[in-house]
Amino acid sequence: MGELLGVAVLGAGSMGADHIRRLDRVVAGARVAAVADPDVERAKAAAAGLRGVTVHTDPEAALDAPGVDAVLIASPGPAHEAALLAAFARGLPVLCEKPMVPDSAGALRVMEAEARLGRRLAQIGFMRRYDAEYLRLKALLDGGGLGRPLMLHCVHRNVSSPPGFSSAQLIDSSVSHEIDAARWLLGQELTAVTVRCPVSSAGAPEGLVDPQFVLFETERGALVDVEVFVNCGFGYQVRCEAVCEAGSARIGEEHAMVVTRAGGAGREVPPDYLVRFADAYDREVRDWVDATRAGRVTGPGAWDGYAASAVAEAGVRALESGGRVAVELAPRPDLYAGVSR
């Protein structure tokens, strides 16, 4: 526990750069040992000012760099499978940003590879499980005081979508957070999905189906609806209301400063997820570093990453077909019995 955990960060975009800053300035017990990104100048910029960091364009070279004890994957989703398997081959603990792997077949391969090792190495970055409001809601539901949960009403809004963002990505990128949050909050798997779409907003890029209304069914009869709107234009908003047999609880409305001045009052709206969930990211990475240094793996794992990908894949099929699509999950390996969900 006396040694700093040397972390290789794969990906130096906005998420990777934020994690590099976090590991260097916020989280105790760790240091950035290596950074990898196909854009070497971006990698150098993200690592600027850090001592003892090596910069690479090849992710595997970063994993093999001196002083690397663990890996944080913040590269684009399609690169995750190869990076996870490479980390497993070296016995390196991993914190992988969501999606674990975008397609369910690849996610299944990763989960099966870890199961063959007989020990968990991967934690998946569903950071809402570390948000203070979500943690309070989870404790309330688990305590049973509101009775059995019947419905979750969720809202997920972004100011604007990045260039090239597709209609399918509203589900497999944005709504993937609600998929994991619903599984975790309710302690149930999602079994079917239906997607309905109003007329697209004038603020959406041409051809993008935005907003969307996604309805999930669970294994014990609860319903989860998600309004996802990634070009709302006014701010980043995430809300969740649990409706139970004996009451309800809502989160996401007070996570802002209220400013009062002459002529009125106004509430700040966060501009993006890095602002809204800054504390959750800090807590997530801090807990991962502490657990890794102690030789443990906690938090959402490869089964959660696989389940989220499988549900999102069913959601994309529902979007494309206009019908209800059942979610098909592979058997849960013994390694993940009693873990997470």
Q: Do 73 and 96 touch, CB atoms closer than 8 A? A: yes
Does 271 share its domain with 283? no
What pairs with residue 242 in β-bridges?
152, 249
Residue 143 structure tokens: 């305590």
CATH number at residue 198: 3.30.360.10
Percent of the chain with pLDDT over 90: 90
Does 247 share its domain with 293? no
Q: Is there a domain that residue 336 lies in?
A: no
Does 197 share its domain with 322? yes
Q: Tell me the mean pLDDT in the region 137-150.
A: 97
Q: Do 4 and 51 touch, CB atoms closer than 8 A? A: no
What is the C-alpha to C-alpha distance for residues 88 and 121, in angstroms, rounded to an integer?
7
pLDDT of residue 254: 63
Provide the residue range defining the domain that includes 98. Answer: 5-128+279-301
User: 193 versus 2: which is more confidently predicted?
Assistant: 193
Q: Tell me the mean pLDDT in the region 34-51.
A: 97
Q: Is there a domain that residue 108 lies in?
A: yes
Q: What tens digit of pLDDT does each residue of 218-229 get?
A: 999 999 999 999
Q: Is there a domain that residue 332 lies in?
A: no
Does 212 share its domain with 122? no
> Count of domains in the chain?
2
Does 245 share its domain with 183? yes
pLDDT of residue 255: 57
Q: Is there a domain that residue 217 lies in?
A: yes
pLDDT of residue 263: 74
Q: What tens digit of pLDDT does each residue of 175-195 get?
A: 999 999 999 999 999 999 999
To which residue do tokens 């609600």 refer?
Answer: 178
Percent of the chain with pLDDT over 70: 95
pLDDT over threshold 90, residue 260: no
pLDDT of residue 1: 44
Q: Is there a domain that residue 97 lies in?
A: yes
pTM above 0.85, yes or no: yes
H helical segments located in the chain: 14-25, 40-47, 59-63, 80-89, 104-117, 132-143, 169, 176-186, 273-276, 278-293, 302-321
Q: Is there a domain that residue 79 lies in?
A: yes
Does 151 share its domain with 238? yes
Confidence band, pLDDT 50/70/90 cuts, at residue 330: very high
Does 140 share its domain with 234? yes
pLDDT over threshold 50, residue 297: yes
What is the C-alpha to C-alpha distance for residues 252 and 240, in angstroms, rounded to an integer?
7
Phi first, then psi, for residue 114 (nearest 5°) are -70, -40
To which residue do tokens 């150098």 refer?
Answer: 44
Does 320 share its domain with 193? yes
CATH number at residue 48: 3.40.50.720
Confidence band, pLDDT 50/70/90 cuts, at residue 269: confident
Q: Is there a domain that residue 147 lies in?
A: yes
Does 190 share its domain with 81? no
What is the C-alpha to C-alpha distance for residues 275 and 285, in angstroms, rounded to an integer?
16
| Amino acid making up residue 164 | G
